[in-house]
């Protein structure tokens, strides 16, 4: 299973600023702390958790939890895929309806055949309008 690292931001002591530097620092802080888009404009769903089990030799079952905060019937998370670290798609699940009242939601993908040499895979979700993107989860395959 993938582990998540948590980074902690700590306040820095305020430097003594003179007038010419002050304008530059304020602009830099605004640029560095402003998100590229607001929560309501998020383009891609995020994979937040993946459970993987061995079904049989070389075949795996996945339970994938996806968070899609903007989910609506006209634009929603409509699938996810399991890929190699190099991007070769090994399995894909299409979702046929929105999950507006079920956030985050978990769906399965069974019987994914994965070649013997592969020890780790990437799981990524897609949006019906923008395609694949958002947070991914890297998963070590059990027994490999």
pLDDT for res 15? 46
Q: How confident is the model at residue 73 (pLDDT cuts 50, 70, 90)?
A: confident
pLDDT at 59 over 70: yes
Domains of the chain: 43-140 (2.60.40.150)
Alpha helices (H) along the chain: 19-33
Confidence of residue 97 (pLDDT cuts 50, 70, 90): confident
Q: CA angle, corner 42, sides to 38 and 47, nearest 5?
A: 130
What is the distance between the alpha carbons of residues 28 and 47, in angstroms, rounded to a whole number?
31
Half-sphere exposure of 128 (CA within 13 A, CB side): 16
pLDDT score recorded for residue 30:
33
| Alpha-carbon gap, residue 29 to 42, rounded angstroms | 22
Q: How far apart are CA 95 and CA 97, in angstroms?
A: 6
Burial class for 102, CB neighbours closer than 10 Å (0-12, 13-18, 19+): exposed
φ and ψ at residue 51, rounded to 5 degrees: -115, 130
Q: Which of 99, 92, 82 is nearest to 137 (CA)?
A: 82
pLDDT at 41: 62
């Amino acid at each position: 299973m993938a582990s998540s690292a948590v980074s902690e931001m700590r306040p820095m002591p305020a430097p003594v600023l003179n007038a010419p530097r002050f304008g530059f620092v304020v602009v830099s802080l605004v640029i560095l702390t402003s998100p590229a888009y607001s929560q309501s404009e998020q383009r891609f769903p995020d994979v937040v958790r993946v459970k993987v089990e061995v079904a049989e030799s070389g075949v795996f079952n996945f339970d994938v939890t996806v968070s899609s905060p903007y989910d609506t019937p006209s634009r929603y998370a409509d699938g996810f895929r399991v890929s190699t670290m190099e991007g070769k798609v090994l399995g894909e699940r299409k979702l046929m309806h929105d999950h507006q009242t079920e956030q985050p939601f978990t769906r399965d993908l069974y019987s994914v055949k994965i070649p013997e040499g592969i020890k780790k895979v990437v799981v990524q979700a897609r949006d019906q309008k923008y395609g694949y993107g958002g947070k991914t989860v890297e998963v070590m395959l059990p027994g490999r």
